[in-house]
């Protein structure tokens, strides 16, 4: 009997897994072909401080609308070390959230690799939150159930949005002016937090440059910027993460604890950076759903 090469077997079983997942999404009434709506320009008249007019200079929101929406919405912020948008943390998670009935808006923000430094990224995140909240009725969203979810450097942008909701203020001519940019809850997945303690050097360099002032370093170290009254947070990390140390999540959770901010912290022993991306069998998915229901963001099961 002829034996197939290992590479062929891996490709075969990977294909089967993809087909099964696509079938599951179809049965759930979720589009597998991508967003139902075209990307929305955050700044129709041009982003503040824009360096050009290419795609790198035009941050966008891409809506993902579930077949059975429950009124909750999530701003989804992929990571990528502030040098790229890691698409593996965009559409796959948007579709997964759609399965839970959550309307999702994927943010593609300006990057350090394109010459943008802090607070350009915060400006984009603030504008995104305001746009979604302003047009909540149009999207059939409860404006009091608007969360934000970020991965890695996207988690840092989430933490910055939480702790500096005024830090990206610009003169707004749009109808989003004056609308709160603060989310009702936040999810931080293996986030970059500190620019001081075991910093992720690439994220730091792309965000604040090679010679930042001490004040800027402290301002962008979110563990130093926590204050009472922040919205509830769900944080998870693996202790084996070799790219972004678990110390980042511990520092942020400790600061939340000290200031009386509700939070839930999950540390998993195994798995490097990005663990849980390839399927929904990792326990963080289950833990997150339980937390979202406890926050009344999603409905608890009644059976």
Residue 115 in this model has a pLDDT that exceeds 60: yes
Residue 48 in this model has a pLDDT that exceeds 80: yes
In this prediction, residues 80-107 reach a mean pLDDT of 97
169 confidence band (pLDDT: 50, 70, 90): low
Tokens of 162: 């939480």
List the domain range (segments joined by +) for residue 63.
11-294
301 domain residue, yes or no: no
Tokens of 87: 């698409």
Give residue for tokens 């909240």: 133
17 domain residue, yes or no: yes
- Higher-pLDDT residue of 260 and 176 is 260
Helix (H) or strand (E) holding 16: helix 6-27
Q: What is the pTM of this model?
A: 0.86
Percent of the chain whose predicted confidence (pLDDT) is above 90 = 78
pLDDT of residue 37: 80
299 domain residue, yes or no: no
What total of structural domains would you count in the chain?
1
The closest of 130, 161, 154, 155 to 143, measured between CA atoms, is 130
Residue 206 in this model has a pLDDT that exceeds 80: yes
147-165 confidence digits (pLDDT tens): 999 999 999 999 999 998 6
80-90 confidence digits (pLDDT tens): 999 999 999 99
300 domain residue, yes or no: no
pLDDT of residue 173: 45
Cα gap 73→102, rounded to integer Å: 5
Cα gap 151→154, rounded to integer Å: 5
In this prediction, residues 282-294 reach a mean pLDDT of 96
Look up the CATH number of the domain holding residue 223: 3.40.50.1820
Lowest mean pLDDT among 36-45, 195-204, 238-247, 248-257: 36-45
Percent of the chain whose predicted confidence (pLDDT) is above 70 = 82
In contact, 75 and 183? CB cutoff 8 Å? yes
pLDDT of residue 29: 37
144 domain residue, yes or no: yes
In this prediction, residues 243-266 reach a mean pLDDT of 98
Helix (H) or strand (E) holding 78: none
In this prediction, residues 220-246 reach a mean pLDDT of 97
178 confidence band (pLDDT: 50, 70, 90): confident
Distance of CA 147 to the CA centre of its chain: 10
6 domain residue, yes or no: no
1 confidence band (pLDDT: 50, 70, 90): very low
Distance of CA 248 to the CA centre of its chain: 16
Cα gap 201→110, rounded to integer Å: 18
In contact, 212 and 196? CB cutoff 8 Å? no
175 domain residue, yes or no: yes
pLDDT of residue 160: 97
Question: In the predicted model, what is the mean pLDDT of the chain?
Answer: 87
4 domain residue, yes or no: no
Residue 185 in this model has a pLDDT that exceeds 70: yes
130 confidence band (pLDDT: 50, 70, 90): very high
Q: Coil, helix or strand for 156?
A: helix
């Amino acid at each position: 009997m002829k034996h197939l090469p290992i590479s062929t077997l891996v490709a075969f079983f990977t294909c089967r897994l993809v087909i099964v997942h696509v079938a599951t999404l179809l049965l759930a009434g979720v589009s597998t072909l991508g967003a139902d709506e075209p990307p929305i320009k955050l700044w129709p008249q041009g982003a503040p401080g824009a360096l050009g007019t290419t795609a790198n200079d035009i941050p966008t929101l891409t809506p993902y609308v579930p077949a059975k929406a429950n009124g909750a919405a999530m701003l989804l912020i992929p990571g990528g070390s502030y040098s790229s948008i890691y698409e593996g943390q965009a559409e796959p998670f948007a579709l997964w959230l759609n399965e839970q009935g959550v309307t999702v808006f994927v943010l593609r923000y300006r990057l350090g690799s394109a010459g943008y430094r802090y607070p350009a990224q915060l400006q984009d995140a603030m504008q995104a939150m305001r746009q979604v909240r302003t047009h909540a009725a149009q999207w059939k969203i409860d404006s009091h159930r608007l969360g934000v979810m970020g991965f890695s450097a996207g988690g840092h942008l989430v933490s910055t949005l939480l702790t500096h909701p005024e830090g990206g203020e610009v003169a707004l001519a749009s109808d989003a002016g004056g609308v709160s940019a603060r989310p009702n809850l936040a999810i931080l997945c293996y986030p970059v937090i500190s620019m001081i303690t075991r910093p992720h050097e690439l994220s730091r360099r792309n965000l604040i440059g090679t010679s930042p002032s001490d004040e800027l370093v402290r301002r962008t170290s979110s563990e130093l910027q926590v204050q009472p009254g922040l919205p509830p947070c769900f944080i998870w990390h693996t202790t084996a993460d070799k790219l972004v140390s678990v110390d980042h999540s511990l520092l942020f959770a400790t600061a939340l604890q000290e200031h009386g901010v509700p939070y839930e912290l999950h540390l998993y022993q195994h798995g490097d950076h990005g663990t849980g991306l390839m399927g929904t069998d990792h326990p963080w998915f289950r833990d997150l759903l339980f937390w979202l229901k406890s926050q009344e963001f999603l409905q608890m099961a009644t059976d």
